[in-house]
Amino acid sequence: MIKRKAKGASKPIGECISQLQKCLRERLCHNRIPSRLEASEAQHKHLLGLLQRTANNGESNSVLIIGPRGSGKTALLKCVLRDLLQEKEVQKNLLQVHLNGLLQTDDRIALKEITRQLNLENVVGDKVFGSFAENLVFLLEALKKGDRSTTRPVLFVLDEFDLFAHHKNQTLLYNLLDVSQSAQAPVAVVGLTCRLDVLELLEKRVKSRFSHRQIHLLSSLTFAQYLERVASQLSLPDDFPDREFALDWNSSVRRFCEDKSVEGILQRHFNSSKDFRSLHMLLMLCLSRISTVNPTIKPADILEASRLCFSDAKSNMLHGLSILELCLVIAMKHLNDVYEGEPFNFQMVHNGL
């Protein structure tokens, strides 16, 4: 239907398909911030209130956002920051420092990254500090405004918060939380973690300086909402360049989502994971099959995409190997077990056949 109607449309079918793929790939791959979070309004309001008090009133706060992977912790924080930065005064004054426990593996690297993100490399220069705390206090002092009376508020976001608890003596966490508690400077510390027992990892001196505010995110998504998400992610917006093509595409998406075989495949994915990132990967694989020859999304597309998503990556590497090649792989596996990871050459593999 789309192909036939597009012949009389203002744009060629190929150009419409190209615009379609560009629009949907930006939506699925760039993880655009949603206009609102369906099941996290209370958590959004709570976190926004905390950060507003830091940005507007200079009140220091610390909070942990806890939830399983894919539950929307990062999306919640991004939505809050988007709403917070709509105020011009906040946008002008609030400084942000984003750290990740997978990247900043020790306090020295973390402090260097804090200095870089605050643009204070020239201020620090070749100064030598006696301790981590002395260095951090100097950085916060350098953020004071021209009259030296007030300090710009700083938001510290610690992704993979539990990994920072494994740093030696938890120096970074101790000093950040100590600053937030002692009101030396307006600082908000927001930690994101998927570990429910994260507080048990903290030392007593660190735990005593934490406010014990926790925001829990648990996925309460129903399958009906999951289907609505699929339809909304695949639908074209009202401002799509070719209006007639967009209407035909959106009607085909509705028929696609009502198909019983499609519902069965999506039910399987929903039961295995409610993570929207895995859903976006599934939809991206479907989208990659769209072309001028196949201008609509069909149940066969999602069936093939689902097969790719659930396939074993290790077994995929062995597909297509001959019997001889499989024998070589088995011999190498035996040699690797015998020599416990020590190097071996092809002659040793050949002798092991």
Instruction: Kindly state whether residues 47 and 11 are assigned to the same domain.
Output: no
Instruction: Kindly state whether residues 175 and 104 are assigned to the same domain.
Output: yes
pLDDT in tens, the chain (353 residues): 454 444 444 567 888 888 888 888 888 876 666 666 666 788 888 999 999 998 888 888 999 999 888 778 888 899 899 989 888 888 888 889 999 999 988 888 888 888 888 887 777 766 666 677 777 777 777 766 544 456 788 899 999 999 999 988 888 898 888 888 877 788 899 999 999 889 999 999 999 989 889 999 877 778 888 888 888 888 888 888 888 888 888 898 888 888 898 888 888 888 887 777 788 888 888 888 888 888 888 888 888 888 877 776 677 777 778 888 888 888 888 888 887 777 888 888 777 66
The answer to whether residue 35 is domain-embedded is no
The answer to whether residue 7 is domain-embedded is yes
Instruction: Kindly state whether residues 106 and 253 are assigned to the same domain.
Output: no
The answer to whether residue 325 is domain-embedded is yes
Instruction: Kindly state whether residues 318 and 303 are assigned to the same domain.
Output: no
The answer to whether residue 340 is domain-embedded is yes
> Are the C-beta atoms of 1 and 252 separated by less than 8 Å?
yes
The 3-state DSSP class for residue 277 equals helix
pTM score? 0.70
Q: Provide the CATH number for the domain around residue 147.
A: 3.40.50.300
DSSP states of 175-230 as a string? HHHHHHHHTSS-EEEEEEES-TTGGGGS-HHHHTTS--EEEE------HHHHHHHH
The answer to whether residue 73 is domain-embedded is yes
Angle, helices 132-141 vs 171-182, to 10°: value is 40
Distance CA(83)–CA(55), nearest Å, equals 13
Angle, helices 260-272 vs 299-310, to 10°: value is 20
Domains: count for the chain: 3
The contacts of residue 216 (CB under 8 Å, 6+ apart) are 43, 66, 67
The answer to whether residue 45 is domain-embedded is yes
Instruction: Kindly state whether residues 266 and 137 are assigned to the same domain.
Output: no
Instruction: Kindly state whether residues 46 and 133 are assigned to the same domain.
Output: yes
Angle, helices 243-258 vs 260-272, to 10°: value is 70
The answer to whether residue 64 is domain-embedded is yes
The residue with tokens 């648990």 is 218
Range of the structural domain that residue 331 is part of: 314-351
Q: How far is CA 144 from CA 139, 155, 157, 187, 203, in A?
A: 10, 15, 21, 13, 31
Spatial strand order of the sheet with 154-159 comes to: 95-100, 154-159, 187-193, 61-66, 213-216
> Are the C-beta atoms of 54 and 187 separated by less than 8 Å?
yes
Q: Which two tokens stand for residue 160?
A: 């993979």
Which residue type, as a one-letter code, is found at position 187?
V
Q: What is the dihedral of CA 83, 84, 87, 89, to 10 degrees?
A: -160
Q: Which two tokens stand for residue 125?
A: 């220069």
The residue with tokens 């705390």 is 133
Which residue type, as a one-letter code, is found at position 218?
L
Long-range contacts of 292-301 (CB under 8 A, 24+ apart): 292/3, 292/13, 292/14, 292/17, 295/2, 295/3, 295/6, 295/13, 295/17, 296/1, 296/2, 296/249, 296/252, 296/256, 297/234, 297/252, 297/253, 297/256, 298/256, 299/256, 299/259, 299/261, 299/262, 299/265
Instruction: Kindly state whether residues 212 and 339 are assigned to the same domain.
Output: no
Query: Which residue from 225, 235, 180, 171 is spatially nearest to 203, judged by alpha carbons?
Result: 171
Instruction: Kindly state whether residues 117 and 192 are assigned to the same domain.
Output: yes
Q: Mark which of 198, 216, 234 sits at the end of a domain.
A: 216
The contacts of residue 63 (CB under 8 Å, 6+ apart) are 47, 50, 188, 189, 190, 191, 211, 213, 214, 215
Instruction: Kindly state whether residues 115 and 175 are assigned to the same domain.
Output: yes
> Are the C-beta atoms of 139 and 179 separated by less than 8 Å?
no
Instruction: Kindly state whether residues 285 and 178 are assigned to the same domain.
Output: no
Instruction: Kindly state whether residues 237 and 119 are assigned to the same domain.
Output: no
Instruction: Kindly state whether residues 48 and 60 are assigned to the same domain.
Output: yes
The answer to whether residue 36 is domain-embedded is no
Q: Mark which of 161, 190, 216 sits at the end of a domain.
A: 216
Q: Mark which of 200, 216, 232 sits at the end of a domain.
A: 216
